Structure 1
Amino acid sequence: MNRLTALPLFGFFTVFGLVYVFGGFSGVPFADRAGGFVLGLLTILAMVAGFAFAKGYRGDGDEDGSA
């Protein structure tokens, strides 16, 4: 996924998750469930992105085959 697609998409998901957390979807059943789903999705994506970012700077030597 390129940056022109990813940044606005994740920005939308972040705002949607914040609205859910602060109770903006109270009384709207589908939006409430969708907000919880998006918040969970953001949590998983944040963990995966953090792991991928950290792996690049860990210096294990996995990329070139050296130990």
Structure 2
Amino acid sequence: MKMPEIRELTDAELRAKIAEYEKERAGLRFKSATEVLGNPMDLRTARRTVAQLKTVLAERAAKAQKAKVT
């Protein structure tokens, strides 16, 4: 996913996507330990996407906290 697509998602959708990609990532890690992955970049892509999703959630939380303080 690209960042503009990620930023359009709601918080609930972001959390659902994080869970989805974490599950995919765990499956890929397990699969890579037992056999050769078809595309090893899938593991990196899943890790990067989870990081991007978590970053957007953290940005929103920080923005909400800042608005709450001011």
TM-score, normalization: structure 1?
A: 0.59
Q: How many residues align?
A: 55
Q: CA RMSD in A?
A: 2.2
Greater relative contact order, per chain length (Cα 8 Å cut-off, separation 6+): 2
Share of identical aligned residues, percent?
9
- Any stretches of 5+ residues in structure 2 without a counterpart? 1-8
Aligned to 2:37: 28
Larger radius of gyration: 1
User: Cα distance, 1:10 vs. partner?
Assistant: 3.0
Give the secondary-structure state (helix, strand or coil) at the position aligned to 1:29: coil
- After superposing on structure 2, the runs of 4+ consecutive aligned residues of structure 1 that deviate more than 4 Å are none
Q: Is the 8 A contact 2:21 2:50 kept in 1?
A: yes
- Are positions 1:41 and 2:68 aligned together? no
Q: Could you report, residue by residue, the CA deviation over 1:15-64 in whole angstroms, capped at 9, with x for unpaired residues?
A: 112334xx31321132x321210110110111121011111111375xxx
- Any stretches of 5+ residues in structure 1 without a counterpart? 62-67
